[in-house]
Amino acid sequence: MSEILVKFDEPIMNPRGDIYFAEAVGRQRQEDGLWEGWIEFEALDQSGGSISSMRETTQPNRTDLEYWAQGLSRVYLQGALARAEGVLLSRIENKNEQAGE
pLDDT in tens, 82-94: 999 986 555 445 5
Amino acid letter, residue 53: S
- Distances 41 to 6, 28, 96 between C-alpha atoms, Å: 12, 20, 24
Number of compact structural domains in the chain: 1
Longest dimension (CA), the chain: 47
Handedness of CA 38, 76, 6, 57 (dihedral sign): positive
Whether the predicted pLDDT of 34 surpasses 70? yes
Query: What span, in angstroms and rounded, lies between the C-alpha atoms of 56 and 26?
Result: 10
pLDDT in tens, 44-82: 986 668 999 999 999 999 999 999 999 999 999 999 999
pTM value is 0.82
Q: Give the domain range for residue 53.
A: 3-99
What's the rounded mean pLDDT across residues 29-50?
Answer: 91
What's the rounded mean pLDDT across residues 15-31?
Answer: 95
Query: What span, in angstroms and rounded, lies between the C-alpha atoms of 48 and 20?
Result: 9
